[in-house]
Structure 1
Amino acid sequence: MSLHPRRTGWSFQWATIIWLTAVWVLLWGDVTWGNIVNGALLGVLVTAGLRMTPVDFRGRVHPVGLVVLLGRFAVDLVRASFEVSLVALRPRHTPRGAVICVQLRSHSDLYLTLTAELVSLVPGSIIVEAHRLTGRLYVHVLDVATSGGVEKARQNVLDQEARVLRALASPDELAAAGLHRSARAGEVTA
């Protein structure tokens, strides 16, 4: 007997199979019946054999929050690239790195993963370890002085998590994380 009702039978995910078939055909660069059939068979094999844990998503996409998240990520990407290049090109400067622990406000695997990915994609910081049960991220910061100190680096991670939550979380998830949506213009405050 399965603990997950969605895993009790051979249920196929047709959209995933079609997508994998299309990717297979595009990778081969030739639309033939053989490529289509092989892509479909591979898609069935992947969806049936590599079962993934269902992602629990109770939120909804907030367009304004998503624009803020993506815009700020682009700004952080450019700024951090410039800072890392300055650290690399500065003669006789030894960067003082640090591994910091950041306790996230949300307990969702999805938001922890998205926050960790966005933090890792910004140059100068990378996730060393993520504790799913405790909601902690251990982040390696390339140069603490350039980042503004340990507390500033920790606050940057928390701000990134807040932007992820503002873009995707439900009102209940926002409240559980200590972020409340105000009545005017759907603003979220901490």
Structure 2
Amino acid sequence: MIDNRRTAARALWTQLPFFVWLILLWMLLWGQFTVLSLLTGTIVAIFTTRVFRLPPAELSGRINLWYGLIFAVTFTIAVVMGSLQVAWHVWNGKRPGTAIIAVPLDTDDDLIMTHVGVTASLIPGSLVVQTDRKNRILYLHIIGVKSLDDVERQRAGVLRWEDRIVRAVGSREQMQALKKREAAHHGSTA
């Protein structure tokens, strides 16, 4: 009986950030940070989590604020640069080259894969069109492609986003795997 209570308390604690996020999202959607929007957001969050049951997502329990800041700054720069590139393609009048590329991710974690996919989709000029969860592959539609070098540059860019996300919120095991990959990569280029 005590183990069941501990398990339930632990599950509630691990899901609390998502619950708070749902409430905050509700308040952002309404553009109000009032007691009424907090109350209705809580009701909607309870309803949503009870009706649309999803498997619990395990958070890593590790947040690196420095790498989170680096992620936020580089993401903002990427959004601005992507917007300018898309605007240039529209203003230029020429049809930009497009491609659908497969990006095999290194990290085997649904939450990291989701973060990478959302990040890639929010940057203008790319959009996730399909995910292969089993093989950890994101398929993206990208614009502004003129050669295979552009495709490889886009693929490497998505993998850099994965690395930044792992550094910011990945587990200790994911960080160790990232460091091993970096060491192997630096060893192969030397």
| TM-score (ref. length: structure 1) | 0.72
- Runs of 4 or more above 6 Å deviation: 29-32, 35-40
Question: What does residue 86 of structure 1 align with?
Answer: 88
| TM-score (ref. length: structure 2) | 0.72
Question: What does residue 111 of structure 2 align with?
Answer: 110
Unaligned runs of 5+ in 2: 1-5
Q: Which has the higher helix share?
A: 2
Q: Is contact 2:62-2:172 (8 Å) kept?
A: no
Amino acid paired to 1:140? H
Q: Is contact 1:127-1:140 (8 Å) kept?
A: yes
2:56 paired residue among 45, 54, 57? 54
Give the whole-Å Cα distance in 2 for the aligned partners of 1:146 and 1:90: 19
Unaligned runs of 5+ in 1: 183-188
Provide the identity percentage.
26
Give the whole-Å Cα distance in 2 for the aligned partners of 1:36 and 1:79: 36
Larger radius of gyration: 1
Q: Is contact 1:130-1:136 (8 Å) kept?
A: yes
Amino acid paired to 2:170? A
Aligned residues: 171
Give the whole-Å Cα distance in 2 for the aligned partners of 1:36 and 1:71: 30
- Please give the secondary structure, in 2, of the residue aligned with 1:127: strand
Aligned-CA RMSD value: 3.7
Larger deviation, residues 49-58 vs 173-182: 173-182
Give the whole-Å Cα distance in 2 for the aligned partners of 1:144 and 1:14: 42
Question: What does residue 122 of structure 2 align with?
Answer: 121
Confirm whether residue 68 of structure 1 aligns to residue 70 of structure 2. yes
Q: Is contact 1:105-1:178 (8 Å) kept?
A: no
Amino acid paired to 2:174? E
